[in-house]
Amino acid sequence: MTEQNPPAVSGASTAGTTRPSAGRSVLLFLRDVVVIVAAALVISFLIKTFLIRSFYIPSESMESTLLVNDRIIVNQLVPEVVPLERGDIVVFRDPGGWLPAMPETPQAPLEAAADWVLSLVGLSASDSDEHLVKRIIGLPGDRITCCNDLGQLSINGVPLDEPYVLLPPDTIDVSGQDFQEDVPEGTLWVMGDNRYDSSDSRFNGVVPIADVVGRAVVVSWPIDRWQWLDNYPLVFDGVEQAE
């Protein structure tokens, strides 16, 4: 005789195949969403803190390279990992006295909360008006002189042909006043591209390298302004390293 198993009872549940209730499924879904959002915020915060950051341009001092309300992406690995070079456009904290005192503008609670969240992920640049954007002209040890008979600025005796400079009509001097300055160790000589509308090292002195937040690498907004930012290495190619 062969042994026959009794037929399974119709509708009987199989062990280990219980399904979660609808309420539990919703809770699991919400948990996953919270974990994903939290992970995204943490990653974005780390990127903003250590790698890149967004700033907007509040003034005309860097025209026509940068226009008012342009948004730029800044590489924060400069100068700790990537060395600074002449021609770099850098964002730096106010060393003191460069920026006028700005009245605090109150925000609605919802607006302030949204701005705080966006700032964590680098999509908001609420502190842009506490920073400045200029182009590095002189490195530590450089002697900056202006202007020669052709209206040019010189570094260590080498005159520069600066295609990025914006000048008033019928003007050839790249600075409205003559000067000669030696750049101390640990500092930078910076100038705006809009030379006749820029309060820079000519008026406020050098910038400590410790105050540099990073180097601007790209205009990210508006879309029709998207472009990589050039540091014009050929302009400074003939300049000897300062001793």
- Active-site positions? 61, 134
| 60/78 Cα distance (integer angstroms) | 24
Minimal CA–CA distance to 240: which of 142, 170, 115? 142
Cα–Cα dist 142/182, whole Å: 6
CA separation (Å) from 196 to 144, 173, 202, 204?
18, 10, 11, 15
d(CA 92, CA 84): 13
Spatial CA neighbour of 212 closest among 14, 11, 106, 75:
75
- Structure tokens that stand for 36 in this block: 């994903």
